[in-house]
Amino acid sequence: MTLLQIAFFFLSALALASAILVITRRNAVHSVIWLIVTLFSVGGIFLLLHAEFLFAVQVILYVGGIMVLFLFVVMLVNLDVAVKQAQFSRQWQLALATAIILMAELAYGIYRGHQGFTLAQTSAVPPTIGNTQAVALALYQDYMLPVEIASVLLLVAMVGAVVMAKRKLE
């Protein structure tokens, strides 16, 4: 086992374990912290794949941006009430059945297509352009229109959220 593989398995295990902790913690702030650990481990896997830009964006956007907002909201919630409430709804049997079916489907898919899951060989020739430039070229040259459409959609959602929040205030 190479160092790279050890790092990969460690990060994956960390991501899964912390993801489970996110849904089992009673205290919402603890859940948020474990979710941050999950996001970090996924970022670490990006780094293993030499995607430094993706790693930086993962940390800046998810850990540094979105999770801070999560924490902000959770800190304002009355946690004493939240702790006393039932953590799981009564439909857990149904959820478990669904999850098992989904797992079985996934396992079957992986079994059928396992030849496709060999690790990609890193190319012998080092890439001529950096990771950041490669992402930029893909986003703003090859997929210009989809990116623009997606950003307009996000803008619409943002304006919509502001309008709805304003109406409630009045």
Contact with other proteins (CB under 8 A) among 6, 13, 16, 72: 72
36-to-33, 52, 75 alpha-carbon distances in Å: 5, 18, 15
Stretch in the footprint of other proteins (CB under 8 A) among 64-72, 88-96, 103-111, 153-161: 64-72
Residue 81 binds other proteins, judged by CB under 8 A = no
Residue 29 binds other proteins, judged by CB under 8 A = yes
Report the C-alpha gap between 102 and 95 in whole angstroms: 10
Residue 7 binds other proteins, judged by CB under 8 A = no
Report the C-alpha gap between 55 and 61 in whole angstroms: 10
Give phi and psi for 54, each to the nearest 5.
-60, -40
Contact with other proteins (CB under 8 A) among 19, 37, 56, 134: 56
Minimum CB distance to other proteins, residue 85 (Å) = 19
Stretch in the footprint of other proteins (CB under 8 A) among 17-25, 48-56, 81-89, 109-117: 48-56
Q: Across the chain, how many H-helices and E-strands are there?
A: 8, 0
Report the C-alpha gap between 47 and 8 in whole angstroms: 10
Residue ranges that bind other proteins, judged by CB under 8 A: 27, 29-30, 33, 36, 52-53, 56-57, 59-60, 63-65, 68-69, 71-72, 75-76, 130-132
